[in-house]
Amino acid sequence: MEIWINPACSKCRSAVQLLDVEGADYTVRRYLEDVPSEDEIRDVLDRLGLEPWDITRTQEAAAKELGVKEWARDASSRERWIKALAEHPKLIQRPIITADDGTAVVARTDEAVRDALSR
């Protein structure tokens, strides 16, 4: 199991703390330093069952500069969104846990973390 975190994020710290309390075996990826490639983002999206706009933090300064709120949210625009997430990782919603069964969850709540642990 791997968890993508930003250590400055309280939700990320809470998720890591819960993983520790539960004795989970996991790897931490500080995704702002170890930036996911476009292929890795595609893989995580497939595992999440989501589209890139579903995991984009649209209130971030970079999102506003890029104008992502105005971008189309359709199949023909998918690669544009993925490219933006790879180039501006701060736009990626966090934390994301990739579970051992090949799925993933956006682990913003204790329930979501426990869901990942149960997989």
Q: State the catalytic residues.
A: 9
Q: Which residues contact 9 (CB under 8 A, 6 or more apart)?
A: 94, 95
87: left (phi over 0), alpha (psi -120 to 50) or beta: alpha
Closest CA to 87 of 60, 110, 106, 114: 60
| Residue 2 host element (H or E) | strand 2-5
DSSP state of 100: T
> Quick count: other Cβ atoms within 10 Å of Cβ 23?
7
